[in-house]
Copies of this chain bind each other. A is one copy, B any other.
Amino acid sequence: MNISAAAERSGVPPKTIRYYENIGLVRPQREANGYRVFRESDVHKLTFLGRARALGFGIEDCRALLALWEDEARASAEVKRIAADHLAEIDAKIADLRDMRETLADLVDHCRGDDRPDCPILKSLQA
């Protein structure tokens, strides 16, 4: 299977697949002409990576998860720890964004948004 087929089947774009190979997340074989050849197992890995990334896991987390996935003797505790840590980070981000959102929404609400210069948004940034 060529890279574009693997991309289509895994949902991971060709550019990204090459990048993943670059950083050692996948190791497709090569044909005599230099083209990458993807086996089913490569496509499965890519799909796995795509899902993990969609859940917001960083690349190094993905690397670790992939290794655990391939390790039949893994302890699920390790997986859970990685996921729980990530969940905590997401919660922190959400909290930050909510704070921003609240402040910003207040400011937007109180700005008339007409052609006059008076603006509580700017005032708040200034004060």
Q: Which of B80, B100, B116 contacts A119 (CB 8 A)?
A: B80
Q: Is chain A's binding surface mostly helix, strand, loop or mixed?
A: helix
Q: Answer whether A125 and B65 are a contact pair too, CB < 8 Å, given A79-B119, A103-B55.
A: yes
Count of chain A residues near B, Cβ 8 A = 52
Interface contact A76-B125, CB-CB below 8 Å: no
| A104 and B69 within 8 A (CB) | no
Interface string of A86-99 (1 = CB under 8 A from B): 11001101100110
Number of copies: 2
Shortest CB-to-CB span from A82 to chain B, Å, is 8
Q: What mask results when residues 41 to 55 of chain A are scored 1 for a CB within 8 Å of chain B, else 0?
A: 000100110011011
How far is the CB of A45 from the nearest CB of chain B, in Å? Answer: 10
CB distance A108 to B121 under 8 Å? Answer: no
| Pair B114/A75 contact, Cβ less than 8 Å | yes
Look across to chain B and name the residue whose beta carbon is closest to the beta carbon of A74: B117
